[in-house]
Amino acid sequence: MSGAENSQVNLVSNAGRALILDDHSYTAVQVCRELAKSGYVVDAFAEPSAPVFVSQYCHQAIYSDPEDSTWIRLLHSVAANNFYEVIYLCSEHLLGKIAQYIQSFGPWKGLLLSEPSSLDTLLSKNSVMRLAGSAGIPVPKTFFPATVKEIVSLGPALGFPLLVKGEGGESSRTIRIVKSQSELIANYRSLMSSPAAPNGVPCLQEFLSGPTYSVGGLFINGEPIRICACRMAIMEPYKAGLMVKGVTERPPELIASALAVFKALRYTGFGDADFVLDRKDGHFKFLEINPEVWANIGLAEYAGVDFHGPYSALARGESVPSDLNFREGVSFYRVTKRVLSTLKRPWLGVNLVRDFLDSSIHTDWDGTDLMPDIHLLMNSVRRRSRALTEP
């Protein structure tokens, strides 16, 4: 584990120093750019392959080794010295270890997190689903099998296709769309042994083909400070991954259900609740909470929502009034992710060209900071090459 300074850009700090905690997501790149342009000097703690490290806006790279169990000690030595005004968690994968360490050694200045009891629930997607159901929030039909034997009968009861969802993990890493009984057993066993979902057992959930929605926000003890909601027009992987293109919308039932979930959890910090519109009954069904800075936070700026100012104020212990307004009908897409998605589904190419030519549609493109996008493209090419050459 080591640190390195990025000499590509000389930033003058007006807001202080910020620390991003990540594994290897592109979300950290978006956050790094936004914070740097707001006047922060931004350091990042992530795996060596993280694209944020090649951003010109990343001042210092602090490398974590996922194979070294002492990485949390390094992170604590970095984060607990009161050096950072704000700390942004961009990876749910890190939350469990961070929560344990903070409970033992005390909170870190600049990092807003829920209370320990809420964190225990958040680390179990099954527990969050049960909590949402008990709070009267509509959820898809979901079964929690205890053994592989139970799956044999529960799968047909839900019908195919269905979802197998890991107890832990983030985004599409622990979700499988299953089309047959034979696929069900194999995918269930695969998730049981997957390092991406190390806790608990997977659940089975009905597959709803309606559009997926995201309600992201900043919360204090379950009370919303800022929110931004969107329909995820394009996702990668399809119906089980991150937003590639989104359009801000404000269906009253969606907003009410999302705020009810965060309230039931007494949630603090950045977080995102995902829902799917059930075309059978017209209700929004809760899918999951992502307890981190979510992938489509870049859309919020164009919808007129400032998350960074309120987060900084709350981290200083100040009171911030709630403002839940955001502009509706704002379209946004993530350029490099969109290109990669189109390569997998070429028939979407016409829509990509149409959006590219439409000046009213916003993007995350930063022509002054191309290295993270080149890094992302090259890694994708390497993965595809390995997949083609593997027996």
CA distance 50 to 376: 9
Under the banding of pLDDT at 50, 70 and 90, the label for residue 187 is: confident
Under the banding of pLDDT at 50, 70 and 90, the label for residue 8 is: very low
Instruction: Measure the CA dihedral 361/277/244/346, to 10°.
Output: -100
| DSSP of 259-294 | HHHHHHTT--EEEEEEEEE-TTT--EEEEEEE-S--
pLDDT at residue 324 in the model: 98
Under the banding of pLDDT at 50, 70 and 90, the label for residue 174 is: confident
- Considering only CA atoms, which of 119, 131, 194 is closest in space to residue 164? 194
Task: Show the tokens assigned to 93.
Answer: 């994968």
Q: Which CATH number fits domain 212-382: 3.30.470.20, 2.30.130.10, 3.20.10.10, 3.30.70.100?
A: 3.30.470.20
Count other C-beta atoms under 10 Å from residue 304's C-beta. 13
How large a percentage of the chain has pLDDT more than 90?
A: 68
CB crowding 271-291: b at 16 or more within 10 Å, else e = bbbbbbbbeeeebbbbbbbbb
- Considering only CA atoms, which of 230, 236, 212 is closest in space to residue 339? 236
The CATH number given to 3-111 is 3.40.50.20
Under the banding of pLDDT at 50, 70 and 90, the label for residue 89 is: very high
For the chain, the structural domain boundaries read 3-111, 141-206, 212-382
Query: What class has domain 141-206?
Result: alpha beta
Q: Tell me: the pLDDT tens digits for 282-322? A: 999 999 999 999 988 999 999 999 999 999 999 999 999 99
Task: Indicate whether 209 pLDDT > 50.
Answer: yes
CA distance 32 to 293: 12
Under the banding of pLDDT at 50, 70 and 90, the label for residue 11 is: very low
Tokens 């030519």 — which residue? Answer: 357
CA distance 253 to 113: 27
pTM (predicted TM-score): 0.92
CA distance 380 to 374: 10
CA distance 371 to 192: 36
Q: Tell me: the pLDDT tens digits for 104-116? A: 888 999 999 999 9
- The count of residues in the chain is 391
CA distance 295 to 241: 10
CA distance 237 to 175: 10
3-state class (DSSP) for residue 22: coil
Please tell me whether the peptide bond between 161 and the residue prior to it is cis, using omega within 30 degrees of 0. yes
pLDDT at residue 22 in the model: 95
Task: Indicate whether 170 pLDDT > 80.
Answer: no
Task: Indicate whether 207 pLDDT > 50.
Answer: yes
